[in-house]
Amino acid sequence: MPHDRRNDLTKPMLAVALVLTFAATAQANPCGPHPTKFVAWTIVVIAALFLEVFVTTGFLLFSGLAVVPTFFALVLANAVSYLGIVLPLFAATGSVWSVEGAVIVAKTGLIKLLSMFGPFQADTFAGLKWRYALLSALAGNAGSYYVGTLLAASQIA
């Protein structure tokens, strides 16, 4: 029986839509700096960044990627994506939906790209599917968004 590749992404895309729907209804926004409490906002951003890296790396641990190089690459990528994607895109659109969607797409592509290079592959690495890269990016992004939202609400509100 032929395999229909369109169905490979149906469940992950449903998960993405569900997570983004809940994020949009949270009515909180850790996407931009708070003008009067910059130190608290910075702590929120750093905590969310590291949580995202821990969750994503933990998820990828089961795919055969090397943990330490992947962790450090994702720390750098998260810092760059926050400054280069999140802040400018949110300033331009004001939409958490567009920001979260763009970050998930960018992170998925980065994870897949990293998996193609030897230094990021452990001895047990046998390849990484797009679906697994998407779910890893989604898990990390969702965790950081919700924790960032909770911290922002408790520290900055």
pLDDT band at 73 (very low <50, low <70, confident <90, very high): very high
> Residue 103: which of 6, 16, 21 has the closest Cα?
16
Per-residue confidence (pLDDT) for residue 13, from 0 to 100: 62
Residue 29: phi and psi, rounded to 5, are -145, 100
Q: Which of 72-76, 111-115, 124-128 has the lowest mean pLDDT?
A: 124-128
Alpha carbons 31 and 10: distance in angstroms, whole number:
28
Whether residue 25 is contained in a domain is answered as no
Whether residue 115 is contained in a domain is answered as yes
Residue ranges making up the domain that contains 138: 37-155
Beta carbons within 8 Å of 21's beta carbon, 6+ residues apart: none
Tell me: the pLDDT tens digits for 24-50?
A: 444 445 565 555 667 767 777 788 888
Placement of tokens 């449903």 in the chain: 14
Listed in order, strand segments (DSSP E) in 20-143 are: none
Residue 2: pLDDT over 60: no
What is the number of other CB atoms lying within 10 angstroms of the CB of residue 87?
Answer: 16
Whether residue 26 is contained in a domain is answered as no
Beta carbons within 8 Å of 128's beta carbon, 6+ residues apart: 60, 63, 64, 65, 111, 112, 115
Number of domains in the chain: 1
What does pLDDT average to over the chain? 79
Q: Hey, is 127 helix, strand or coil?
A: coil
Residue 22: pLDDT over 60: no
Residue 134: pLDDT over 90: yes
pLDDT band at 82 (very low <50, low <70, confident <90, very high): confident
Per-residue confidence (pLDDT) for residue 146, from 0 to 100: 78
Whether residue 6 is contained in a domain is answered as no
Alpha carbons 81 and 112: distance in angstroms, whole number:
16
Whether residue 94 is contained in a domain is answered as yes
Whether residue 45 is contained in a domain is answered as yes
What is the number of other CB atoms lying within 10 angstroms of the CB of residue 61?
Answer: 15
Whether residue 1 is contained in a domain is answered as no
Whether residue 137 is contained in a domain is answered as yes
Identity of the highest mean pLDDT range in 14-18, 101-105, 145-149: 101-105
Q: What is the mean pLDDT of residues 61-83?
A: 91
